[in-house]
Amino acid sequence: MLTLTIASRESALAMWQAEHIRDRLSVLHPGCTVNILGMTTRGDQILDVTLSKIGGKGLFVKELEVALEAGQADLAVHSMKDVPMELPPGFDLAVIGEREDPRDAFVSNQYARLSDLPPGGVVGTSSLRREAQLRARYPHLTVKPLRGNVGTRLKKLDEGQFDAILLAAAGLKRLGLGDRIKSLLSVEDSIPAAGQGALGIEIRSGNFEVAAMLAALNHPETAACVRAERQVSRVLGGSCQVPLGAHAVLQDGRLVLNGFVANPDGSSFIHDAATGDVADPEAVGQQLADKLLAQGARAILDALPPA
């Protein structure tokens, strides 16, 4: 193909990610022109309510899929964290790219780390996953909702609406804002979201020509970890309406997967781990989901407010 078109959201982070993939494709296929088609999604337009109240992460990908379906674009670049566990029929995840730092970052203008915040200190996040872990581990802190793209969130911090905010380290680093990170939360203290820090590329099913052009961007180790993480969410019915985290690493050739389910106030908190064959990531994810279910995850999930 002589031209490839990437559909992307127009936020700075999404554009950085699309440009990153464009640049890599231009090196792989020097004779091919790679364009970016910027689009505004419903998720970008509605900024005044928490994501869980407006129908979740699918909001960020639907418009891009419409462009793929209509042939206006050949590929869509996503943060894997924002990709629903089940893609609609007609679309495939062709690539999972190498992961950036998967950790959550502590950002503040006054404090160096979460443990420095005084009782009642106000922490901004709209992620139920971050909120549940914060409330479980730092019950003396106050969690306040914080939405918008990365730039908007930093502005709200700088205006003094929060003592600190939590953001994905990957997004800050990609935007050249790594110097705003005061400290990183360990993956034990704040288990990341499934797929956090990894990019995914979606195409129309059966588009083998484009799939072949993208194949070299796939990172098999990251792909195995992210597939295991996503299986936990898939089995438990996870989305951003659910306080759930899953994070896998490779250790001596084995997949080691940690995950949790909690209620938003952090009072019920189930954590466990599973280890297994990197060649069957879904089995490792299933194993962890089964362990969480055996400890009562279903009751926690059923008690959550409806999405």
Rule CB under 6 A: which residues touch ligand PBG?
79, 81-82, 150, 167-168, 170-171, 196-197
Minimum separation from the CB atom of position 9 to ligand PBG (A): 10
Choice between 219 and 298, CB closer to ligand PBG: 219
What is the DSSP pairing of strand 183-184 with strand 104-107? antiparallel
Choice between 172 and 268, CB closer to ligand PBG: 172
What length is written for the chain? 307
Phi, psi at 222, each rounded to 5°: -60, -40
Joined together, the tokens standing for residue 139 give 């019950």
Minimum separation from the CB atom of position 150 to ligand PBG (A): 6
Choice between 134 and 286, CB closer to ligand PBG: 134
Minimum separation from the CB atom of position 165 to ligand PBG (A): 9
Distance CA 8, CA 17 (A): 8
Q: Quick check: 10 and 38 in contact, CB under 8 A?
A: yes
Choice between 168 and 278, CB closer to ligand PBG: 168
Task: Write the secondary structure of 228-286 as one string of H (helix), E (strand) and C (coil).
Answer: HHHHHHHHHCCCCCCCEEEEEEEECCEEEEEEEEECCCCCCEEEEEEEEECCCHHHHHH
Joined together, the tokens standing for residue 36 give 């970016």
Q: Quick check: 92 and 230 in contact, CB under 8 A?
A: no
130: Cβ contacts below 8 Å, ≥ 6 apart: 104, 166, 190
Choice between 121 and 197, CB closer to ligand PBG: 197
Minimum separation from the CB atom of position 214 to ligand PBG (A): 18
User: Which of the residues 48, 74, 82, 92 is marked catalytic?
Assistant: 82
Q: Is residue 82 annotated as part of the catalytic site, yes or no?
A: yes
102 CB burial (10 A radius; 0-12, 13-18, 19+): buried
Choice between 79 and 268, CB closer to ligand PBG: 79
Choice between 79 and 263, CB closer to ligand PBG: 79
**Residues involved in catalysis:** 82
